[in-house]
Structure 1
């Protein structure tokens, strides 16, 4: 990876500044994303601080302990940010917005920070008894796999710098960072296990993950002409609609299977709930609607590109 003249003149300590673009100029877009990444953590910290300061530690408002609420909230956002980071490349193609790539690594590193904060809050919850924490991680399966995901994401975060890309080489770096997919799957499985009975949020995250994996499948070179995700503008609209249907259905069957295995509920009852209008929109419909929204956004982006005036080539300045 080569440096531009402006990058070469820039102090090394500033090249990775999250508010600067690769040329060293201030980037409002990157700065906005950087600030937004703090908001979930600040919200969790504020909720924890206000609950603790209330008489009874906020027990009148919730049966859960304030620290447990913050612990779960931070963990939830770790999964969400992982999925957002994985969605950057598809959205960049579909929406014709190359600038989105500027924040992909930033969001990925933020996901690791939230995972690390999740562990730190767990240690605090266990009154800093590190031996007990280590024992729990070793003996409780859902904590074991969560810790495995944390270690893997730590490696990816540590290598998410331009210097590490140059040191490892692009091919090796990309091969290493493909581990983000199984690590995300492990994180979602951990989400299921710690959620116990109500798995609405893990199920929803599963649906989005299915969409991302199916999109990646459509980008495999071995598919030849069917590798539609490799096109500069992403898959055609019909394929995107198909992705919405497939990911929604896959998620619905996953939800039914989970409840059947975890609680013994008849999977047919769970599947039929998706057809009922008496309850709030089911996760399968949310995933399907999100997939359709992506398809519509693709159409809009295509129309905007056609309506945009052609760029006029300008001569180089003397």
Structure 2
């Protein structure tokens, strides 16, 4: 199947968009490298850059299903495979650059000895398994049920990747907490969908509030346990805005924006005609 076309042969704006989203970070990294914009430690910066985009694209992959359902946009489905494979590509680049920078022996030793590197390596290994079975042929060989069961491993991979990011960030975990908060919202959506059989815009807004509270709580817990910073100072920072919006506010704003857009789309959608209404007289 063409990268830019649907199965019918029609040009797909959605697939083209997702391909561009996947390629732009690589182009950005190449531009930074060519003009010397990676700083005094270019290998380290490139490692961090690829790792960051790997988890961002992984979250975008997980966001496809909620967005497709809430916004009634079925063609967003094309983004799942494209973004998932892009996340794998950046994760492999992340690991490959680490081995190049450290050397094979030292890199392997570090992964074995440092828990956050071990966690990251497990996440990448599982992601490779998903990538290797992402083709139509693999789905046919495994069968839809076994394939779906295998690909639920993404719900293990994403938390492992987020945990790796948080531990690796050490002192400033702002972006890592934001990533974790978005992941919490996406997981809450899936739990609510299973329990309620669907998620309305109002319910998604409520889930966004819950995810924001959990995001703030996780930030307080991390600083309190890992750095011995007074958790109440972190709580104060979350409501004062002296340091700018904290991760909880970005999670809340993003979730409420999606809920509002979903509500608007549902209001504008034409009413479904009942079966009786379409029966011939």
**Do both share a fold (TM > 0.5)?**
yes
* Corresponding residue SS for 1:18: coil
Aligned length, in residue pairs = 275
1:45 and 1:70 in contact (8 A); partners too: no
Match of 2:185 in 1: 211
Counterpart for residue 170 of structure 2:
196
Residue 181 of structure 1: aligned partner: 155
Task: Please report how far the alpha carbon of residue 279 of structure 1 lies from its aligned counterpart in structure 2 after TM superposition.
Answer: 2.1
Alignment equivalent of 1:298, drawn from 262, 269, 276 = 262
2:140 is aligned to: 166
Matched, 1:107 2:71: no
Residue pair 1:20, 1:26 contacting (<8 A) in 2 also? yes
8 A Cα contact 2:6 2:12, kept in partner = yes
Superposed CA deviations along residues 221-246 of structure 1, whole A, max 9, x for unmatched, are: xx3xxx1xx33xxx223211211110
Question: TM-score of the superposition, structure 1-length normalised?
Answer: 0.82
User: Contact 1:47 / 1:70 at 8 angstroms: preserved in 2?
Assistant: no
Q: Which residue of 2 aligns with 1:121?
A: 97
Larger deviation, residues 30-39 vs 173-182: 30-39
What RMSD in Å do the two structures reach over aligned CA positions? 1.9
Matches within 5 A, 1:56-71: 58-59=39-40, 65-71=41-47
State how far apart, in whole Å, the 2-side matches of 1:58 and 1:270 are: 31
Q: Distance in 1 between matches of 2:52 and 2:235?
A: 25
Relative to structure 1, the CA distance from residue 293 to residue 24 in structure 2 (aligned partners, 3 Å threshold; closer, same or farther) is same
Report if aligned partners of 2:51, 2:94 keep a CA contact under 8 Å in 1: yes
TM-score (norm 2): 0.93
- Please say if 1:48 is aligned against 2:33: yes
Aligned mate of 2:205, from 236, 241, 247: 241
Runs of 4+ aligned residues of structure 1 deviating over 4 Å after TM superposition are none
Distance (whole Å) between structure 2 residues aligned to residue 86 and residue 152 of structure 1: 15
Q: Give the CA deviation at 1:212.
A: 0.6
Q: Is the 8 A contact 2:120 2:161 kept in 1?
A: yes
For 1:97, the equivalent position in structure 2 comes to: 73
Q: Give SS of 2:269's match.
A: helix
- Deviation, 1:21, is 1.1
Identify the residue that residue 114 of structure 2 maps to in structure 1: 140
The counterpart of 1:280, out of the listed 230, 237, 244, is 244
Q: Aligned partners of 2:113, 2:70: CA distance in 1, in Å?
A: 44
Distance 1:287 1:201 in 2: 11
Give the counterpart of 1:75 among 42, 51, 68: 51
1:58–1:174: structure 2 CA closer, same or farther, 3 Å change rule? closer
Partner of 2:13: 28
